[in-house]
Structure 1
Amino acid sequence: MRFTHPTPVFDANASSGASFGDLPEWDLTDLYQSEDAPELKRDMDWLEKACADFAADYEGKLAGLDAKGMLDCVLRYERIDVIGGRIMSFAGLRYYQNTTDAERAKFFSDCQDKITTFTTPLVFYTLEINRIPDEQLDALFDANGDLARYKPIFERLRAMRPYQLSDELEKFLHDQSVVGAAAWNKLFDETIAGLTFNVDGEELNIEGTLNLLTDPDRAKREAGARELAEVFGENVKLFSRVHNTLSKEKEVEDRWRGMPTPQTGRHLSNHVEPEVVEALRNAVVAAYPKLSHRYYALKAKWMGLDTMEVWDRNAPLPIEEPKTVDWETAQKTVMDAYADFSPKMAEIAEPFFTKGWIDAGVKPGKAPGAFAHPTVVDVHPYVMLNYLGKPRDVMTLAHELGHGVHQVLAAGQGELLASTPLTLAETASVFGEMLTFRKLLENAKTKEERKTLLAGKVEDMINTVVRQIAFYDFECKLHDARRTGELTPDDINALWMSVQAESLGPVFNFMDGYETFWAYIPHFVHSPFYVYAYAFGDGLVNALYAVYEEGDADFQDKYFAMLKAGGSKHHKELLAPFGLDASDPKFWDKGLSMISGMIDELEAMED
């Protein structure tokens, strides 16, 4: 079951500010009218009975089903997934609109508790499927084409076969989840949303303070960075406890399951081979000198600095004129870029703006960052932003809208097959960003404007590729170290710093307090080892975009077919029509060379 919580993927750091036009808010009534809507009670009651009936009809009997019986079973399971997903999407999205509202938090928790209880009898489903011999399942697929469509789901379930526990233990873990990782996730979210920062007499939330790190005024950037360090330092024991507990819980479960590495579970859920991830990681680390080290040395020169401080990393360039982009302009920029690629893409994106599918404003208690949540296939996705009118916020809109378009297209696969592995989930989002960037670059009127755009894109790619692989290395080190015992805040700080200098390069000086900046990264808490998916997605899109630029006449059709496939195909099968193969180490070099090519152009502008 994938609906125990909405697991939003927080994609970007936005921030706080003034009015940028009429910012849209979510209309969640397509899910339910309210938390006490009769339809919600009806669905909750239906779900309780449907789960009990499913267990009564099928437990202990899956191995004896014929092809039609197995198809009926899968379709009933899928319907349960839809109703549970709808309820949890509504509860979760309301909660993320205001994580400090006690009523919303209680409603979210209560829904989670009930659904966990209702679905405990269904744990047998995966366990029994994994005990059916391969040849018996293959015969069922051969006998019924409609059932064969679900073969990728069975393959994904059966990838977990070597790591499956007894029925009783699996039920225990399912029941226990609401007071395990889910509870620590919630503590983290509520703590982060409730933090306050005092900068020059102004009280800000985390979004507003992170926003200062991109301010043109260096003194403001420094003040923001030092206040972040101060507040993270004051709370570091709590964040350390969250990380210690979650990594230990994971280690215990992995050990019982016999998983060879802490990353194994993520690779299995991503449907990607460990050696492919290792090839990506190694290619990026080897490229640090020609990517981040080279770019930041160039940026230091532009800024007239011998040494950069951490608060200079995302600073605007000295030639960059401070610019605020209102919401209407942001919408037009992204929609024009999408329409230039394909009118169909713009058509799919349009309802997000017109039907209340985007929540864009910065509000007290609202979750930080941005995400696109697919809800369920018979409703539609919702996009969350914290829009502050910065040019990078326009790119965040392009990114999240890309996710939304992907989720709309994949919905045709049905609930079980629509969900895309994380490694491929970033494809449409990063491609949407690239389309928007190329549109802006095409319209640049001066050398300075082109330089600013190129530098901004290089920084975004470094943040997506270099920074995320450094995050991945930090997580690998953290989970390995936790296996030997409890980690103090200083231990975790040291692991964080061990990857920062290596990835960012010798031009950086790291202020006292920066060692705690691991504390606010939600991915480490919500989705361990998620972060490599960003680098995977960026490298994949760079390679895809190179094919597009080469003028493949059928590119748009192939691209939409790839998005429509959702989770029904492996990355090898999806990339084959474009002549690409992610298991080839040269594939990653192709993607990374696009970034180094942009840095080449920036260096040439110095002459």
Structure 2
Amino acid sequence: MGDLPLWRLEDLYPSRDSEAFRADLSRADEMATAFEAKWKGKLTEAAKASGDKGLGSAIEEYDALDDLLGRIASFAGLTYFSNTSDPANGKFYGDVQSRLTDLSAHLLFFPLELNRIEDAIIDAAIKADAKTAHYAPWILDLRKDKPFQLDDKLEQLFLEKSMTSAAAFNRLFDETMAELRFEIDGEMLPLERTLNLLQEPEEETRRKAAEALSKTFKDNLRIFTLITNTLAKDKEIGDRWRGFEDIADSRHLSNRVEREVVDALASAVREAYPRLSHRYYAMKAKWLGMEQMNFWDRNAPLPETPKALIPWAEAKETVLSAYGAFSPDMAAIARRFFDEQWIDAPARPGKAPGAFAHPTVPSAHPYVLVNYLGKPRDVMTLAHELGHGVHQVLAGGQGALMCQTPLTLAETASVFGEMLTFRALLDKTKDKRERKAMLAQKVEDMINTVVRQIAFYEFERKVHTARKEGELTADQIGELWLSVQNESLGPAIRISEGYETWWTYIPHFIHSPFYVYAYAFGDCLVNSLYAVYQNANEGFQQKYFELLKAGGTKHHSELLKPFGLDATDPSFWSKGLSMIEGLIDELETLDRM
């Protein structure tokens, strides 16, 4: 596959023991203490002033501190994810998290006190002071949290206790997953390589991989059940104290999306199960010569799928050329990730599984982690994560406080990048059999992104609801898992013994409860957005870049308006889902030819 790149974390700090890192940690301590002494108890007075004594200046200092703390936290996290099996990395990550939590206690007053200022005073400050006006989107966004804030002492307690509650169990999950090994024909494989075998053409290989996964998950079921119960209860306590009505309302608030919009999305996808996943998997079973596929056949390649591994250089050129055909500027940003070593690509023991794009902070640059194994899906994953990276670079101009995009729009650039890459490859493919294999893989990826993620969301809802009545056994969680899997996958998939434990390895359930619907939101949104692009006159690329550059400064309704899209319209989700249905129609047509 060629030379796979390793990322250059030296762009953040030379090493975890470097003088530069220790100096920044000390500087952050001093700045946080000084910031508290300067501004605590004085924000209402600052809101009535301007210039260096005004609220805008206070937020500007807070923004700079947020960037510094983010740089420190990013370096610790990326070092840890590079090799979670290294005890020294684990200690470093834990120590830095603890230090930052203590340090953040000096800053906790700021958003709480700011939200206690009367609306009229805030409005007047935004009108009267240019610096305050610059941060108006962040101020107004912050005030949406106001109804759910606790008093300062309680907020400090929640912050400090997070290290020994949610953060501790998150780390336990990560380190447990990194250490798991799955035995296949006498060889002990890590998670990522074992999951990859589910995409092998030989049915026997897939079966052995599935059985190895099920056995190891079952052997470790007790610890995963404890982690899940503890985190669900921890979330319930926090939600109850803050006054959230629904179990997912805190996620909706952080995403800045209305519950009704998410409910409409989930409902539309559930109603589409028969037209999408049930219909497609029935077709695939026939192509594989089966009446019913086993659960380990779900992502099996079709006989038409090319067998050769895709070298890294080819994957790079594929993605960059697809990006460049849409926008040379977009390709130029993506190319920097390769040229300047912002990507960590090899799969290796101890490395975090899966893939992600970490934004770090605006004063630095994002990093991309993939576990590249040369499969076509790995190329699409690279296109996806580079889309995130381009988005993060463009949004960085908003500064540390306003660059973070809500999850509802955070998947826009990533899924759009995937779609550009897929369409570019499909347009070059003239062979009917190869075209069928490509279309099938794209449909499967979209089903995994939309149907599977909404099924995950429904599973989380069931788990968190049931947990309110008491601790759940592994069998109970497994039953909830199978109920949503049976409903979403349909009758063409045979779910046999062992699959009831496969909820254990999904990291989003642990790290970001209810995050998963963002994937479906993003996929359906991009399907609609791509349809606009296909029919657009000049100017789409500029409007698209403006959407990405906005970061967290605008609501999704405002960002989608220039494209004539409205996520509150019930038909919006149907438009997005119809694109998946259209690809299945095309596959059916190819099958008859």
Aligned to 1:228: 213
Q: Distance in 2 between matches of 1:234 and 1:127?
A: 45
- The offset of 1:154, in angstroms, is 1.6
1:397 match: 382
Residue 354 of structure 1, CA deviation: 1.0
- Asked if the contact 2:526/2:576 (under 8 Å) is kept, the reply is yes
Deviations 1:441-489 (A, max 9, x none): 0010211111111111000000000000000000011000000000000
SS across alignment from 1:372: strand
CA distance in 2, matches of 1:110, 1:517: 32
Cα RMSD of the aligned pairs, angstroms, is 0.8
Deviating beyond 3 angstroms after TM superposition, the runs of 4 or more aligned structure 1 residues are none
Q: Give the AA of the match of 1:42.
A: A
Secondary structure of the 1:100 match is: coil
Residue correspondence of structure 1 range 96-115 to structure 2 within 5 A: 96-115=81-100
Q: State the alpha-carbon separation in 1 of the partners of residues 35 and 316 from structure 2.
A: 46
Give me the whole-angstrom Cα distance separating, in 2, the residues matched to 1:445 and 1:55: 65
Which deviations, in whole Å up to 9, do the C-alpha atoms of 1:337-393 show, x marking residues without a partner? 000001111111111001110000011100000000011101100000000000110
Paired position in structure 2 for 1:554 = 539
Aligned mate of 1:50, from 7, 17, 31: 31
Paired with 1:568 and 1:444, the residues of 2 have a C-alpha distance of 40
Per mean C-alpha deviation after superposition, the further-off stretch among 144-153 and 210-219 is 144-153
Choose between structure 1 and 2 for higher RCO, CA contacts under 8 A separated by at least 6 residues: 1
Secondary structure, counterpart of 2:429 in structure 1:
coil
Determine the structure 2 residue equivalent to 1:207.
Answer: 192
Question: 1:261 Cα shift?
Answer: 1.2
Mapping 1:419-438, distance limit 5 Å: 419-438=404-423
From 18, 22, 36, the equivalent of 1:41 is 22
Output the CA distance in 2 between the equivalents of 1:154 and 1:503.
Answer: 41
Alignment match of 1:259 (pick from 244, 247, 261): 244
2:96 alignment partner AA? C
Aligned residue identity for 1:470:
A
Alignment counterpart, residue 446 of structure 1, candidates 427, 431, 435: 431
Find the partner of 2:528 among 537, 540, 543.
543
Alpha-carbon offset, residue 145 of structure 1: 3.3
- Counterpart for residue 481 of structure 1: 466
C-alpha separation in 2, matches of 1:269 and 1:517: 28
Deviations 1:500-555 (A, max 9, x none): 01001111111201001000000000000000000000011000000000133110
**Residue 493 in 1 paired to residue 478 in 2?**
yes
Contact 1:156 1:268 in 2 (8 A): no
Equivalent residue of 1:203, what SS?
A: strand
One of 28, 40, 45 as aligned partner of 2:9: 28
Taking the aligned partners of 2:100 and 2:377, their CA distance within structure 1 comes to 38
The yes-or-no answer on 1:418 pairing with 2:403 is: yes
Q: Distance in 1 between matches of 2:457 and 2:429?
A: 35
- The residue identity in structure 1 corresponding to 2:86 is D
Please give the alpha-carbon distance, in whole angstroms, between the structure 2 residues aligned to 1:145 and 1:441: 50
Instruction: Output the CA distance in 2 between the equivalents of 1:276 and 1:151.
Output: 25
Instruction: State the distance in 2 between where 1:206 and 1:174 align.
Output: 32
1:247 deviates by 0.4
Aligned-partner Cα distance in 1 for 2:37–2:462: 45
Alignment match, 1:277: 262
The answer to whether the 8 A contact 1:338-1:432 is kept is yes
Cα distance between partner residues in 2 of 1:106 and 1:112: 10
Tell whether the 8 Å contact from 2:306 to 2:434 is kept in structure 1 after alignment: no
Structure 2 vs 1, CA of residues 291 and 67 (structure 1 numbering), >3 Å: closer, same or farther? farther
* TM-fit CA distance, 1:156: 2.4
Deviation at 1:67? 4.0
- List per-residue Cα deviations over 1:181-207 (Å, max 9, x = no partner): 111000000000100111012210001
Partners of 1:67 and 1:563 in 2: CA distance? 31
Which stretches in structure 1 are left out of the alignment for 5+ residues? 1-19
Taking the aligned partners of 1:409 and 1:122, their CA distance within structure 2 comes to: 28
Partner SS for 1:415: coil
| Matched-pair contact (CA < 8 Å) for 1:423–1:533 | yes
Alignment of 1:312-327 (within 5 A): 312-327=297-312
CA distance in structure 2 between the aligned counterparts of 1:483 and 1:552, rounded to whole angstroms: 53
Instruction: Give the Å deviation of 1:319.
Output: 2.0
Task: Select between 159-168 and 510-519 the one with higher mean Cα deviation.
Answer: 159-168
Q: Structure 2 matches for 1:509-528, cutoff 5 A?
A: 509-528=494-513
Counterparts of 1:586-597 in structure 2, within 5 Å, are: 586-597=571-582
Instruction: Tell me, in whole angstroms, the C-alpha distance in 1 between the residues paired with 2:63 and 2:366.
Output: 18
1:566 aligns with 2:551: yes
Query: Which residue of structure 1 aligns with residue 560 of structure 2?
Result: 575
Name which of structure 1's ranges 115-124 and 521-530 shifts more when overlaid on structure 2.
115-124
- Deviations along 1:313-350, one digit per CA (max 9) or x if unpaired, are 00001222312100000000000000000111111111
CA distance in 1, matches of 2:242, 2:567: 29
Alignment TM-score, normalising by the size of structure 2: 0.98
Alpha-carbon distance in 1 for matches of 2:107, 2:379: 43
Which of these residues, 272, 277, 285, is aligned with residue 300 of structure 1? 285
Answer whether contact 1:540 1:591 (CA < 8 A) is retained: yes
Which 5+ residue runs of structure 2 have no aligned equivalent?
none
**Structure 2: distance between partners of 1:469 and 1:360:** 29
- Work out the CA distance in 2 between the residues paired with 1:152 and 1:477: 35
Shift of 1:152: 2.1
Shift of 1:589: 0.5
Report how far residue 61 of structure 1 moved: 1.3
Q: Percent identity?
A: 57
